[in-house]
Amino acid sequence: MSLTALLLELLEMPCLTGEEGPVADWLVERYRDEPLRRVGDSVVVGQPRPGRPTVLLVSHTDVVPPTDADRSPRREAGRVVGRGASDMKGGMAVALDCFDDPALRHGPYAPVLVCYAGEEGPHEGNELGGVLDAVGFLRAAELAVVLEPTDLTVQLGCLGGLHAELAFAGRAAHSARPWQGDNALTAAGALLDDLHGREPRDVEVDGLVYREVLTATQAWTVNARNVVPDRFVVNVNYRFAPDKTLADAERRLRDVVGGRAEVQVVDRAPPGRPRRDAPLVDAFARRAGGRVRPKQAWTDVARLDQAGVPALNYGPGLTAQAHQSGEYVPEANLTTARDVVGRFLAG
């Protein structure tokens, strides 16, 4: 089966976060004659081989909700269009095609497929952590290639992320007599203005420059429209460089808020280190052309790093197409990524 045909088959399966069962069933049937473990709706295929470094080919199976422009998978002008084509069914197709190649399976490395559910949802719903706990040999792998969209570049490490709800307090009143209350919504104005004018902060880690950003993403009250709100909540998302721990990031966030609002952290994900010191990270980067970049987002290289597995991001998907209407991946990118991963596994 061609890479394009394989990707189209993957795109035909509904895989919204929380609904990954069909693709897990498909993987179990496809690899029924291989060493296989299913954990929830995640599947691990393959096993270590004595004397060969284990290389994990890692992809998440879930996608964000489709739009009318990408609901029907198709080929179109040298592209494969469909929800998840870039993020990250295209990478998954490359991983499966490499694993299916007998020459690569019997080469100098022991490739293992890790196809996991729940990446696009909340951090605690991501099944990769449970997979790493259930399949013990994964933590001993010498390299994990996470096939996220990277525009065919090797992207090392990743940003950490916090979501926090900033609650501003006031006193309710009728909107015809606002002087009888204290408007929690407008009380947030100074901090929102600070966030609006806040510049990204560049942080260098292992020679790679990550951009830290603090962004207001949602806001709400629970009052009727003719009531001065006594509570106004703003969700802020802090993306921070891999030189910080979660505790460091939370302290910095609270410093920015400066007591102007009550802070409740509601979701947290640690960053991933670049791991330029790991021999196979360097070897893969050289196979891919030698140039590396920082990952300006969060990916599961962070979870793998915490598990002691050196990991990198590399995939055929376009970062600008992730979660976009009419999502696509160039067919040529599939071929290039397959060639790079294949040449690395061939040694």
C-alpha 263, offset from chain centre: 25
Q: Is 34 a catalytic residue?
A: no
CA atoms of 4 and 24, how far apart (whole Å): 20
Q: Are 44 and 34 in contact (CB under 8 A)?
A: no
**Tokens matching residue 251:** 């302290």
CA atoms of 188 and 301, how far apart (whole Å): 36
Q: Is 62 a catalytic residue?
A: yes
By C-alpha distance, which of 89, 94, 124, 164 is closest to 18? Answer: 124
Q: Is 206 left (phi over 0), alpha (psi -120 to 50) or beta?
A: left
Instruction: Provide the CB-side half-sphere exposure for 327 (13 A, CA).
Output: 29
Of the residues 20, 41, 62, 165, only one is catalytic, namely 62
**Cis bond upstream, residue 13 (ω within 30):** no
Q: How many CB atoms lie within 10 A of CB 232?
A: 22
Of the residues 20, 70, 119, 230, only one is catalytic, namely 119
Active site residues: 62, 119
